[in-house]
Amino acid sequence: MRVNSLAFRLLASSSAIALVLLVSASLLLNAIFQQALEHNFDLRLKAALDGILANVALGDDNQIKLQGPVADARFALPLSGWYWQVTGPAGGSRLLASPSLLDQQLEPVPADAVRDIDGVASYSTRDSSGNLLRVMDERLKLFNQDAEYEFLVSGNFDELKAEVASFHQTLYFVMALLGAALLGAIFLQVRFSLRPLQEMQHQLNDIRGGKIELLPDHFPEEIQPVADELNLLVQSNFEIIDRARMQVGNLAHALKTPISVLTNESRNSTAPLAVKVREQLDAMRDHVNLYLDRARRAARAQAIGAVTEVEPVLQSLARTLQRINADRGLTVTVQAPAGLRFRGERQDLEEMVGNLMDNACKWAKSSVIVKAANLPRPADDARGWMLISVEDDGPGIPVDQRAEALKRGRRLDETKPGSGLGMSIITETAGMYSGGLDLADASLGGLRANLRLPSLA
């Protein structure tokens, strides 16, 4: 999955959103749990405070006292964090306290503490042992007295750490499991949603491979208009190619007929003018044939759906050239995998490779080797490519003369037959298919011609 692909963008954006939502949900659940925990703890403290209030009585000495011990045993454990205390109205001195408090005294309620509608204030503090205390304070007038008594009850909030840690561990595990499930679901959703585009890509490859002519009409409604436009584009391509071929044929007939008439007329005369006319007519005929062939090759190169099996073409050319050069004892060997296919016209492949093999046979001493194979597909190119190499054991071409050999009409050795157009025709035809030709040293000692062409992988 590439970084600039739609699948990566959808997966990355959806995963980022899911991560933000999961983190937000974790924080929200943690806050709700913390609030519920504190609320339940406050209810427990309020119950203990109500129990103490219900157990308070006025003694014979006109002082308040407890009628019986507090039921919760934690109030009897020294410095347990669970304390209760009753403060008198005069000066705030301690009147009663739980055994757990020993000689200490709970801090009074802060001045900024907010009381609820029942007059109860809650706040947090720490005792001498460092325990985090949750304190509840309530002021009441008892036994028809004008002064208020202050009742304080505290609980050890640190005892809930284990419960909080267990909740956090469970929460993080569940959120991680949910995140992994969401990531898998997002991946499957992205793959499923983009499958029609992958199907369209495969079917476009089938069109270029000549297996089908047009895209089907069963795509989702969002991309069906794209498929319809591509079908129109393919049909328009076919029509343009047909018109180009027809116009090339018409031009050939329109030019060849008057050239033939003028040539026949000039042959009846031996005058210098007639000789000159024949020379120019021959040049015109060569140019007409050259550019008509180029137009036909260009039209074929742009055609959609043309595919040619490479190995049969190479074997056929090798057999023909070996028979032609039988008196020299020349061997032509072909090494090509079955199923290798050229994305183009058979006639163009025969013309390009045939010229290369013919040149190799002219210069070879005893052996010509033709190899063909698919090239590794570049990461930035969706097309497949092949390399056809033709090498011989001849004298080769010096490095500084190889570029000259590829130019039109250039012949480095006039002792061999030829027009000097073969290499330039190969270069032009390969260029029409976005391919190319280059020359290098052969392993046999002569020249190796490397022809790069599109393939149907």
Phi, psi of 441 (to 5 degrees): -75, 140
Q: Is the pLDDT of residue 136 over 60?
A: yes
pLDDT digits (tens, 9 = 90+) for 13-52: 988 999 999 999 999 999 999 889 888 988 888 888 888 8
DSSP reduced 3-state for 142? coil
Res. 404 pLDDT band, cuts 50 70 90:
confident
Q: What is the pLDDT of residue 253?
A: 67
Q: What is the pLDDT of residue 311?
A: 92
Q: Is the pLDDT of residue 408 over 90?
A: no
Strand 331-335, strand 367-374: pairing: parallel
Q: What is the pLDDT of residue 79?
A: 87
d(CA 63, CA 95): 9
pLDDT above 90 covers a percentage of the chain that reads 12
Residues in the chain: 457
User: Per-residue DSSP letters for 78-131?
Assistant: TT-S-EEEEE-TTTT-EEEE-GGGTT--PPPPPTTPPB-TTSEEEEEEE-TT--
Angle CA 317–322–325, to nearest 5: 125
Q: What is the pLDDT of residue 315?
A: 92
Q: What is the pLDDT of residue 419?
A: 42
Environment class of residue 170 by beta-carbon count within 10 Å: exposed (0-12), middle (13-18) or buried (19+)?
A: exposed
Q: What is the pLDDT of residue 92?
A: 67
Q: Is the pLDDT of residue 372 over 50?
A: yes
Res. 325 pLDDT band, cuts 50 70 90:
confident
> Cα 190 to chain center, whole Å?
11
Res. 180 pLDDT band, cuts 50 70 90:
very high
Q: Is the pLDDT of residue 1 over 90?
A: no
Q: What is the pLDDT of residue 164?
A: 86
Residue 129 token pair: 């042992």
Q: Which range is least confidently modeled, 5-14, 80-89, 149-158, 276-285?
A: 276-285
83-87 β-sheet, strand order: 94-97, 83-87, 148-156, 132-141, 120-126
Q: Indicate the residue type of 54.
A: A
Q: Is residue 160 within 8 Å of 33, Cβ to Cβ?
A: no
Taking residues 252-266, report their average pLDDT: 74
- What does pLDDT average to over the chain? 81
Q: Which range is least confidently modeled, 30-44, 64-78, 93-107, 416-430?
A: 416-430
Q: Which helix (H) or strand (E) holds 14?
A: helix 6-55
Phi, psi of 90 (to 5 degrees): -95, 105
Q: What is the pLDDT of residue 209?
A: 66
Res. 411 pLDDT band, cuts 50 70 90:
very low
Residue 179 token pair: 């995140």
Nearest alpha carbon to residue 151 among 44, 56, 245: 56
Res. 263 pLDDT band, cuts 50 70 90:
confident
Q: What is the pLDDT of residue 42?
A: 87
Nearest alpha carbon to residue 405 among 431, 430, 437: 437
Taking residues 441-454, report their average pLDDT: 88
Residue 136 token pair: 């509840």
Helix 346-363 with 422-432: angle, nearest 10 deg? 150
Q: Is the pTM of this model over 0.85?
A: no
Q: Is the pLDDT of residue 384 over 90?
A: no
Q: Which range is least confidently modeled, 147-161, 244-258, 377-391?
A: 244-258
pLDDT above 70 covers a percentage of the chain that reads 88
Q: Is the pLDDT of residue 80 over 70?
A: yes
Nearest alpha carbon to residue 334 among 367, 362, 364: 367
Q: What is the pLDDT of residue 314?
A: 92
Q: How many CA atoms lie within 13 A of 201 on its CB side?
A: 7
Q: What is the pLDDT of residue 409?
A: 47
